[in-house]
Amino acid sequence: MTAAAPPARNTGKPRKWVGPLITLGPGMLMLLALFLVPIALVTIYSVLTGDTYGGVKWELSPAAYKRLVGMPDLEELRDTWEFVYLWIIIKSIGLAAVTALLALIVGYPAAYYIARRGDKQKYFLLFLVTLPFFANALVRMYAWILILRKDGILNNALQGMGLIHEPLQMIYTPGAVAVAMLYQYLPFMVLPLFASIEKLDGSLIEASFDLGARRFTTFRRVVLPMTMPGVVAGLVLVFVPALGNFVAPTLIGGGKDLYLSTLLAQAFLTARDWPFGSAVATFLSVVVVLALLAIAMSNGERKAGAPQS
């Protein structure tokens, strides 16, 4: 008898595990094989000793974490604390956070506008938002290089208009990386925002106006609190992938400024220090999971205080 077979009649109780097995089973299996196992491997590697040409020796060692937090290490000829790697992590988190905030500032008005259109227009505009997904991510990044580089479109245009006399250094700056990532992840912000703004009952806005609240007050006290789930979802959906983005820091950032992703690539591919790379990856995962937990808990508290739909 296979798992998919319907429960035999007259046995009384239907088998409770059949439904979950069919619906959740395949997904769970995928996650187990392709996500949990690699994560476990990475976590284990991070506490082992590195081999000279990559790979690991099965000897426990805290060296990778010591190096990550910059502890003095005589073998590496360091006798003081050095926070190179922690600084890279902080910088990466900062960059991802700025990208997420920019996406919120740019995406909210756009999502609001789209959500308040008629049905036909609404879904056409949403389609336009997702249009960049149809082009290859790498191609889109090369386009940004053409726009931002010294003799690129933007510099040429600004010089042509006489606004600047020397070409600006735009490419290979953190700002350029943030803008490129903003462009890449904006749909992830707009879509959840759209979903929660669309659900917002227009008569609540009218009620707020009716009670004397002007537009900004209405936004701050009614619209924003009611669409908070969309804001949080959008921030998470932009922040998390931005933190691990490899293409933008490499191509637009020029690879000279190390971010988490480039540091990881360097540790595994160039330095062939697998335990160190694994330690960076594990540390990053822990930070992300803690951040998500904090958000989930603050959401739960708000719900308990004043229930939302």
Partner 1 sequence: MTRHSVVEIRNVSRSFRSPEGAFIRAVDDISLNIEAGKFTTLLGPSGCGKTTLLRMIGGFEEPDQGTVLIDGVDMTYRPPFERPVNTVFQHYALFPHMTVAENIGYGLSVAGLPKAEISKRVTEALRLVRLEGMGSRPTRKMSGGQQQRVALARALILQPKILLLDEPLAALDRRLRKDMQFELKKLQHELGIAFLCVTHDQEEALAMSDQIVVMNSGHVEQIGTPKEIYQTPKTRFAAGFIGEMNFIKAVAVGSGSSATTYEGVGGLKVSSTTGTTPGSEVTLAIRPEHLQINVGHTAPTAHTIAGTVIDSSYLGTNTRIEVNASGNTLHVETEGAAAVGNGGDPISLEYDPKRVLVLPT
Q: How far is the CB of 15 from partner 1 (least distance, A)?
A: 38
Choose one: 4-12, 165-173, 218-226, 244-252; the region binding partner 1 (CB under 8 A): 218-226
- Residue 136, interface with partner 1 (CB under 8 A)? no
Q: From residue 15, how far is each of 1, 2, 19, 26, 50 by CA, in Å?
A: 13, 12, 8, 19, 49
- Residue 307, interface with partner 1 (CB under 8 A)? yes
Nearer to partner 1, 130 or 217 (CB): 217
Q: How many residues bind partner 1 (CB under 8 A)?
A: 21
- Residue 32, interface with partner 1 (CB under 8 A)? no
Q: How far is the CB of 207 from partner 1 (least distance, A)?
A: 4
- Residue 170, interface with partner 1 (CB under 8 A)? no
Taking the C-alpha atoms of residue 201 and residue 207, their distance in angstroms, rounded to an integer, is 10
Residue in 33, 40, 211, 292 binding partner 1, rule: CB under 8 A = 211
- Residue 161, interface with partner 1 (CB under 8 A)? no
- CB-facing half-sphere around the CA of 294: CA atoms within 13 A: 7
Nearer to partner 1, 166 or 210 (CB): 210
Taking the C-alpha atoms of residue 190 and residue 197, their distance in angstroms, rounded to an integer, is 10
Residue in 212, 216, 256, 301 binding partner 1, rule: CB under 8 A = 212
Choose one: 10-18, 100-108, 206-214, 285-293; the region binding partner 1 (CB under 8 A): 206-214
- Residue 117, interface with partner 1 (CB under 8 A)? no
- Residue 65, interface with partner 1 (CB under 8 A)? no
Residue in 97, 106, 213, 232 binding partner 1, rule: CB under 8 A = 213
- Residue 23, interface with partner 1 (CB under 8 A)? no
Nearer to partner 1, 228 or 288 (CB): 228
- Residue 301, interface with partner 1 (CB under 8 A)? no
Nearer to partner 1, 75 or 119 (CB): 119
Taking the C-alpha atoms of residue 260 and residue 92, their distance in angstroms, rounded to an integer, is 6
- CB-facing half-sphere around the CA of 95: CA atoms within 13 A: 29
Residue 235: is it exposed, middle or buried by C-beta count within 10 angstroms (0-12/13-18/19+)? buried
Q: From residue 75, how far is each of 69, 71, 82 by CA, in Å?
A: 16, 12, 14
Q: Which residue is listed with tokens 């669309």?
A: 198
- Residue 209, interface with partner 1 (CB under 8 A)? yes
- Residue 73, interface with partner 1 (CB under 8 A)? no
Buried b (16+ CB within 10 A) or exposed e, 211-220: eebeeeebbe
Choose one: 2-10, 201-209, 244-252, 253-261; the region binding partner 1 (CB under 8 A): 201-209
Nearer to partner 1, 169 or 308 (CB): 308
Angle between helices 137-148 and 174-199 (to 10 degrees): 120
Taking the C-alpha atoms of residue 100 and residue 235, their distance in angstroms, rounded to an integer, is 5
Taking the C-alpha atoms of residue 226 and residue 245, their distance in angstroms, rounded to an integer, is 31
Sign of the torsion formed by the C-alpha atoms of 264, 267, 272 and 273: negative
Q: How far is the CB of 215 from partner 1 (least distance, A)?
A: 8
- Residue 13, interface with partner 1 (CB under 8 A)? no
Instruction: Name the site residues for partner 1 (rule: CB under 8 A).
Output: 201, 203-204, 206-214, 217, 221-222, 225-226, 306-309
